[in-house]
Amino acid sequence: MPNIGVLAIQGDFLEHKQVLEQLDVKVPEIRLPGELDGIDGLIIPGGESTTIVQLIDIYGFRPVLADKVKSGMPVWGTCAGMIAIANNLTDKRPEPLHLMDIEVSRNAFGRQADSFEEDLDVEDIEGPPFHAVFIRAPVVNSMGEGVKTLAKLRDGRPVAVRQGAMLATSFHPELTTDYRIHDLFKRIVENSA
């Protein structure tokens, strides 16, 4: 059974945990850097990226996460988690973790479209379009050559990307009953074990 941790310092980590448990994954809640040692992959959930990154630094996660990712640990960031793992942000805050070769804009949809839903064709998963829930969501502005777009909005902006064993999604698959992206991440973790 794979062991996929959820970073449990702020945000909707419990929803990710509930989905992964349905998929027969063991899901430790990670609150201290030393707890990263026992896991095969990590999810950084949605929430408030400035708070999440602030707590990451207070608890000393930053250098440990960088090491783990360098040695191949799969990481998936959803929404605020995508912001946290980016290389660059168009905003001044927070200072991202520089783990994935993407530049991200926070709150890219402004007030009018604070939250919305859209059906997306997602590469690397089978079946019908994925019903994606966006909440004060970021988008990917640009990405390096090693990053592949898995899904984009009708206007062409990327909202799901993959770089090797790393995933980032602007939307919240953990808030739906469609487990296909969690299952994709589980397979990434199994294949990199």
> Applying CB under 6 A, does 16 fall inside the site for ligand GLN?
no
Mode of pairing for the β-strands spanning 139-143 and 100-105: antiparallel
Cα gap 118→191, rounded to integer Å: 30
Q: Binding residue for ligand GLN (CB under 6 A) from 35, 48, 118, 124?
A: 48
> Applying CB under 6 A, does 80 fall inside the site for ligand GLN?
yes
> Which among 41, 34, 48, 43 is positioned nearest to 13, based on CA atoms?
43
Binding mask 49-78 for ligand GLN (x = CB under 6 A): x-----------------------------
**Which residue number, 106 or 162, has a Cβ lying nearer to ligand GLN?**
106
Cα gap 26→14, rounded to integer Å: 13
**Which residue number, 72 or 93, has a Cβ lying nearer to ligand GLN?**
93
Strands (E), 121-193: 130-135, 139-143, 148-152, 158-163, 166-169
**Which residue number, 2 or 81, has a Cβ lying nearer to ligand GLN?**
81
Which 87-146 positions form the footprint of ligand GLN (CB under 6 A)? Answer: 106-107, 135-136
The residue count for binding ligand GLN (CB under 6 A) is 11
> Of the residues 117, 172, 182, 190, which is catalytic?
172
Q: Binding residue for ligand GLN (CB under 6 A) from 5, 47, 77, 158?
A: 47
Would you call 118 a catalytic residue per the annotation? Answer: no
Cα gap 83→41, rounded to integer Å: 18
DSSP string, 27-60: -PEE-SGGGGGG-SEEEE-SS-HHHHHHHHHHHT
**Which residue number, 27 or 80, has a Cβ lying nearer to ligand GLN?**
80
**Which residue number, 125 or 135, has a Cβ lying nearer to ligand GLN?**
135
Q: Measured between alpha carbons, how far is residue 143 from residues 8, 62, 171, 173 in Å?
A: 28, 22, 18, 22
For the packed helices 61-70 and 49-59, what is the interaxial angle rounded to 10 degrees? 90
Gyration radius of the chain over CA positions: 15
Q: Which stretch binds ligand GLN (CB under 6 A): 36-44, 46-54, 63-71, 179-187?
A: 46-54
Would you call 79 a catalytic residue per the annotation? Answer: yes
Catalytic residues, which ones?
79, 172, 174
Which chain residues interact with ligand GLN by CB under 6 A?
A: 46-49, 79-80, 83, 106-107, 135-136
